[in-house]
Amino acid sequence: MPTAAPMLAVGFGLGMISAPLADLILGQVAHHHAGSASGLFKTAAQLGIALGTALTTVIFFIHISAGTRGSAVSTAFTNSLCYVVGTLITMWVLMLLLPKPTRTS
């Protein structure tokens, strides 16, 4: 149960970041390049997820050794999730610094 709060924060953070970022990036692309831009955006997102998962796993295994059981695993998992939450908060703050999209009617 102690890991539910950080996982909730991660899910909330991803939801807060992914949709506005896609709107901001793909909204600047010409219509005839929309398909290519969408594919490139999705590929970059998948690459980011893969690298993020790998780095989180590295952080997890830095805090424990092979064969560790019990509360040490929970502590390592919590430390890994704290890293992820910190990264998502940093990304959210940086997104506030991005230029606001202009609406053309």
* % pLDDT > 70, the chain: 92
* pLDDT score of 105: 56
Could you read off the pLDDT of 72-95 as tens digits, one per residue?
Answer: 888 888 888 888 888 878 988 887
Mean pLDDT for 4-33 is: 80
The Cα–Cα gap between 67 and 23 comes to 45
Mean pLDDT of 10-20: 78
Q: Mean pLDDT over residues 43-67, rounded?
A: 85
Least confident span in 19-23, 39-43, 90-94: 19-23
Q: Within 10 Å of residue 99's Cβ, how many Cβ atoms?
A: 7
Amino acid identity at 49:
I
DSSP codes of every residue in the chain: -TTHHHHHHHHHHHHHHHHHHHHHHHTTS-GGGHHHHHHHHHHHHHHHHHHHHHHHHHHHHHHS-TT--THHHHHHHHHHHHHHHHHHHHHHHHHHTSPPPPP--
